[in-house]
Structure 1
Amino acid sequence: MQFMEFFFSLTMAARIAYSSYIFSLVHPAQYQRMAGYSRAAVLLGVFTSSVLGQLLVTVGRVFFTTLHYLSLAFLTFTLVLTILLKRPKRSLFFNHIEPAPGGGASPSELDQMHPGVDGPSGRKLGGMRLAAWTLVRMLRELGNSLQLPQLRLWSLWWIFNSAGYYLIVYYVHILWNVVEPTTDSTKVYNGGVDAASTLLGAITSFTAGYVKIRWALWAKLVIGVVTALQAGLVFLMYHTKSISLCYVAFVLFRGSYQFLVPIATFQIASSLSKELCALVFGVNTFLATVLKTIITLIVSDKRGLGLEVCLQFLVYFVYFVLLSVAYFAAALGSLWHSRRDRHQPEPLAQELSSPLKEKDIQALNLQDGALSNLQPEATTLAPEDSTWAKGPVSRELSDSRELPEAKA
């Protein structure tokens, strides 16, 4: 199991790089659809493997060792396809991107904040020092980005809900064996259930790419509803003695989670520059893994409580209930503040569905404020000056006032 977890960690790291690579190829306006497409493609691949594995075991009576060989063959073929993909030629972090002449692409946000490769004292850096200084710049920009409410919300969802999701996925097969023990592999339909759940997840992920609502206002409520649904499904898996109901509950649980994954990916990616997407995805996944490990040590491991699998699912039910209560409380607070301020004209940024657009509006407002501070103050005219007529006389007066400055 530990050997499998090691390679699963490598897979998760590669998935983070895959998501960042996909977003680097498209315009930010297409982030939501691209997130839905990429997630649906991954789930369709899992669906295909699940169906193929179930057919080989049930109909072909193939041994599980043969399935491992087939998996290795598909992974080798995938590696060949990956090598043929277009690869980035340089890193956005450690290479300064000059704008193309004649109105090309603008520099990255990090380059705009800290142009060049100078250190804090203005000295040129190289090697490991350059990498360390760039990492510091990157973390500073990440700290500034965390001020966006949408980024904080979806990052917290990523951490807490992903930890609960993977706990269910890891231990649900053990629960199925407890609900209906069997030694005949031809009567085990775990692969078919995985196929159905991933197919539903692919459909919901694809649908999420076309959902158009005001996420800045309704995101917490949507997350709360989905999390409450997941809590009910986990309780059904814990309480039922029917393997069919347990299968259906897991399919719905997995499909509901996959609906929010592309939305979270889109909201996080559109809140950040392209340089920071992979960092945030990686940090969120790492924290989710740490949280999952802590819960596993407390609930499942022999060094902790060492609960049996049915009681573990009861603990996971309480976990999702607490999450849903927190999301509903946050949603009620947001709706109350929105209703209290409805008599005031809402700024344009609140009507946008993308945090990136809100960020651009804030930047424009800051630029306008800076330009207004640079405007010269109006000169107070003397009473006798107020009767002067506009025209050549005023121009002569202005020229006469500029003469001493020219001599000086």
Structure 2
Amino acid sequence: MESVGSNWLYPTALLCVCGFFSNVRPSEPFLTPYLMGPDKNLTEQQVNEIFPVWTYSYVVLLFPIFLATDYLRYKPIIVLQGAALIVTWLMLLYAQGLLAMKFLEFFYGMVTASEVAYYSYIYSVVDFNMYQKVTGYCRCATLVGYTVGSITAQILVSFAEVSLFHLNVISLVCVAIGFTTSVFLPMPQKSMFFHRVKADYNGFKIKHDGSMSEEEELESASTTPLNCGLDNANSMLNDHLPEPMDSSSYTNEIMNKKPFKRICIVLVMLWKTFLQCYSSWPLLCWSAWWALSTCGYFQTVNYIQVLWERIRPFQSSQIYNGIVEAASALLGAVAAFVVGYVKISSIWSEVALLVFSLVVAVSVFLMDTLHNIWVCYVCYIVFRIIYMMLITVATFKIAANLSVELYALVFGVNTFVALVLQTLLTLIVVESSLLNLDIFGQFLAYSVYFGVVALLFLIFGVYNIVKKYRENPRPHENVSGCLNCRNEVTSKIS
């Protein structure tokens, strides 16, 4: 029988093409000027009412789509994402009014919530040995697509004087190509919880004769602390499974249950795995940074164009949103790539998080207070570079002792917590029922928020240093211990 690994090229190429065209959206860097321009004629206050709908939709849809992604085996959700992108840009082109734009943000929330399917799909159709390579290809495709879209937008606006409406037409064509490509993706035969086939028991690959190779034994050893989450989950499922535990038997058994009971079994399994994963203190700390920083990052990126529009309006002068977005994404990717080759100890990584979190807080503060578009552009580029670099470190630290099968779960939970925090931040800072700050007041609040994140990691860093100091014996104690041992041995010999 032909192995899955031999067919990695076709689905990877299709997924990369899909990811590339789905992210070539030249109109995105100029979304706020488009909404506040003559095409939509919305006010800044109305734009502030529209953007929170994306946050609320994202947080509400993330968990149901996560379950549906596993149950439907990834591809249907990728197709759904492409369809939602088409609906989003059709509404951007032809829908009018505040209510229509809020529905548009709901569909865009569906798009971002469905990203879990795009980044999980490839693991179900290629061999374990190809995971690292295909992950790099797929992420690179989305990054290159975003960069090409941003640069294209700036060139068309600055030199060809193309209208923002026609930028949206180009975006619609590109996302339609991405949607068409997704239809031709091969349908996976397995998923993490609902459809397990011939592999991935207890977080590592098992040979058909039941033994593990040396590489797989090393993989097992390196992932043992967190893979026991799957041990507990699988042992909990033994009540529902015939013995011995077999992946295909598991799939048949769970699929024969009634839908409600089937979902309950998977939810219990998810909960058991979740508790076991987050019982690790390092993973918990890094996940806390992930959630807190991603919350602030989403909020800043979501409203940065409103700030730019207030400092330098698009209709009255030339702006460079496209080139700034492209530069920040590209330089951030380079920083993320470089940091992947730098060996950082746990103590120094926490110090780096503290220092860079302070730099982020200062960057956001300068964007808010100086009211200079060039300073704002530079600070935004610095902000995105640092975030992409540090999120790469956080991803590696979390994944270091985590089996690949649990990536989507842990990263999904971290993103969900970030969205819950972002929802609270939006309700407090943006919504008219509470503070209802203007855009400059909002960015002042975000700079304070990042300062608090830096303070929290200062506390975590001090705690970790004190803990390691107490756990490691002092050098002179080791020497005296060795001398005592030598004296005891000498006396016994004599």
Q: TM-score range by the shorter chain?
A: 0.7 to 0.9
Following superposition, the deviation at residue 59 of structure 1 comes to: 1.1
Counterpart code for 1:200: L
Contact persistence 2:306–2:439 (CA under 8 A): yes
Q: 1:212 to 1:246 in 2, by over 3 A?
A: same
Aligned partner of 2:262 among 130, 134, 142: 130
Following superposition, the deviation at residue 7 of structure 1 comes to: 2.9
Separation of aligned partners in 1, 2:264 and 2:195: 13
Aligned partner of 1:293 among 420, 423, 435: 423
Q: 1:44 to 1:96 in 2, by over 3 A?
A: closer
Partner of 1:320: 450
- Listed one character per residue, the Cα deviations across residues 210-240 of structure 1 (whole Å, up to 9, x for unaligned) are 222234x333222212211100101111111
Following superposition, the deviation at residue 162 of structure 1 comes to: 0.8
Partner of 1:93: 193
Partner of 2:412: 282
Contact persistence 2:228–2:276 (CA under 8 A): no
Separation of aligned partners in 2, 1:249 and 1:132: 47
Separation of aligned partners in 2, 1:297 and 1:177: 23
Contact persistence 2:332–2:384 (CA under 8 A): yes
2:181 maps to 1:81: yes
TM-score by length of structure 2 reads: 0.62
Contact persistence 1:160–1:291 (CA under 8 A): yes
Separation of aligned partners in 2, 1:101 and 1:9: 42
Partner of 2:85: none
Separation of aligned partners in 1, 2:185 and 2:241: 41
Partner of 2:40: none
Partner of 2:333: 202
2:283 maps to 1:154: no
Contact persistence 1:155–1:284 (CA under 8 A): yes
Contact persistence 2:428–2:434 (CA under 8 A): yes
Aligned partner of 1:52 among 141, 152, 158: 152
Following superposition, the deviation at residue 135 of structure 1 comes to: 2.2
Separation of aligned partners in 1, 2:146 and 2:378: 18
Partner of 1:66: 166
Unaligned 5+ segments in structure 1 are 346-408
Following superposition, the deviation at residue 34 of structure 1 comes to: 7.2
Counterpart code for 1:167: Q
Counterpart code for 1:300: V
Q: Aligned with 1:140: secondary structure?
A: helix
Aligned partner of 1:337 among 451, 461, 467: 467
Unaligned 5+ segments in structure 2 are 1-49, 51-101, 199-205, 221-226, 244-252, 476-494
Partner of 2:277: 145
Q: 1:29 to 1:149 in 2, by over 3 A?
A: farther
TM-score by length of structure 1 reads: 0.74
Structure whose residues are more often helix by fraction? 2
Following superposition, the deviation at residue 194 of structure 1 comes to: 1.1
Partner of 1:365: none
